[in-house]
Amino acid sequence: MTERLIMRVGAERFAMSVEHIDRVAPAQDAEPLPLVHADVEGMAVYGSDVVPQMDLAATVGMAPVGQAGAFVTLANTASGLVALRHDGFEGVHTFPDGRLAPVAAPPGDCRTGMIRLAGKPVFAVDAQRIRISAATEGSTFTPMEPAEEAGAVTAPAMGVQETHRGLEFRLHGRDQTLPLEMIDRVKPSEVGGTHLVLRGDQGWAELVVETISGLVSKSEPVELSADLVGALTWTPAPAHEESAPVIEDTAGLPVFRLDAGVIACGVALHDVLLVSATDYVPAPWMAGRFDGLVSTTLGILPVIDLTRRLGQGAERARVCVVIQTHGGTWALGCDRVVDAGHARTSSIEDSPPWSSGVAELQNGTCPLLDLEHVVSWDRVA
């Protein structure tokens, strides 16, 4: 005998063993996902869990039955915790397992049998047979708007949407943003908070802020708010006690150093859209090409975990660095991100296959990530 929860989809009834059910809840809106099978509606939040959501009708091979169901059953499936959306419940019933009639179902169907309750057929569903299929071969990254003029010198690269980066911080209890090109240095303040040294057409300015939220990316140019303009006192460059830092290699590449487990690697600053200290959600159904998904201000993006793939780490990466390439937008997972400033770059014969060269940093060298190679990985290294 097995206790099963009966779920309703249109006129059909489906029953799942309560031992595979985590909980039930009203259905939440799902955020669409890139690079997943069409059966997955997206990621939805239920309490502290962010899980993939699927329509139970599609899971059992039924045609759509109308408007989206109002309830979900969170079940432990072959692909982990999944929210199965349906129309409602009809309680828990005890099923005599030996009396389940076989079902003429195609291979891979999660229905294991049928029984009649009160004269109506009820199909038994095995949660462990529910598996999220890998993305199709035709799947792409998050779609990007094409450049208007591919040949123009000032136009963004083909397939990459032009963005404007800024540094977000908190000042006097309010969130503010400065264009990234205005930030010359960031250092601790002697009076608490963080000290920003700014550089602009008017010269130099200093600003002490409460906290720094991180880098942001916007589709429109970052504009200074009126109260922020009033808080800045500009000093002509020659009179400033700290003149502009001299960069010996003016052609040096601005880079971030990514620490991932036992390795450190570099990535060009111009490829980075956002740094987010956010855990990602593992996604084993993505066939190893990506390790999971992360929710950011730019949407839900696929993640490649450098800590596990290259750094031999046992735990998931704790920081996600959002990358934009010609192929689209995705994220790299690592343990720590450091602004390494300008670095001279060179190529070496014995560099790793995932490296495009070496960056010479102030405290040593580190290999540069070849982003096109990294995103072509088809399985965990």
Residues 6+ away with beta carbon under 8 Å from 269: 253, 254, 255, 256, 339
The half-sphere exposure of 319 on its side-chain side, counting CA atoms within 13 A, is 14
Q: What is the pLDDT of residue 34?
A: 63
333, with CB counted inside 10 A (0-12, 13-18, 19+), is: buried
- Could you give the angle at the alpha carbon of 273 between the alpha carbons of 272 and 277, nearest 5°? 90
Q: What is the pLDDT of residue 71?
A: 93
Among 197, 217, 201, 222, which residue's Cα sits nearest to residue 209?
197
The answer to whether the beta carbons of residues 30 and 41 sit under 8 Å apart is: yes
Q: What is the pLDDT of residue 161?
A: 45
Domains located in the chain, CATH noted: 2-129 (2.40.50.180), 164-239 (no CATH), 253-374 (2.40.50.180)
Among 314, 326, 316, which residue's Cα sits nearest to residue 278?
316
Question: In the beta sheet, which residues pair with residue 260?
Answer: 263
Predicted TM-score of the model (pTM): 0.49
Residue 239 tokens, joined: 């009179």
Mean pLDDT over the full length of the chain: 76
Residue 26 tokens, joined: 């009203």
Residue 147 tokens, joined: 């450049």
Helices (H), the chain: 56-59, 226-231, 306-309, 371-374
Please provide residue 57's backbone torsions phi and psi, each rounded to the nearest 5 degrees: -60, -45
Residue with tokens 């599609």: 58
Q: What is the pLDDT of residue 215?
A: 63
pLDDT digits (tens, 9 = 90+) for 242-301: 443 333 343 577 888 899 988 889 998 888 888 888 778 887 766 567 888 887 777 778
Residue with tokens 């309490």: 47
Residues of the chain with pLDDT under 70: 33-38, 104-108, 133-164, 184-193, 213-217, 237-251, 285-288, 327, 348-350, 377-381
Whole-angstrom distance, CA of residue 267 vs CA of residue 272: 8
Determine the straight-line distance between the first and last CA of the chain, rounded to whole angstroms.
45
What sign does the dihedral 178-181-187-189 (CA atoms) show? negative
Q: What is the pLDDT of residue 332?
A: 92
The answer to whether the beta carbons of residues 35 and 289 sit under 8 Å apart is: yes
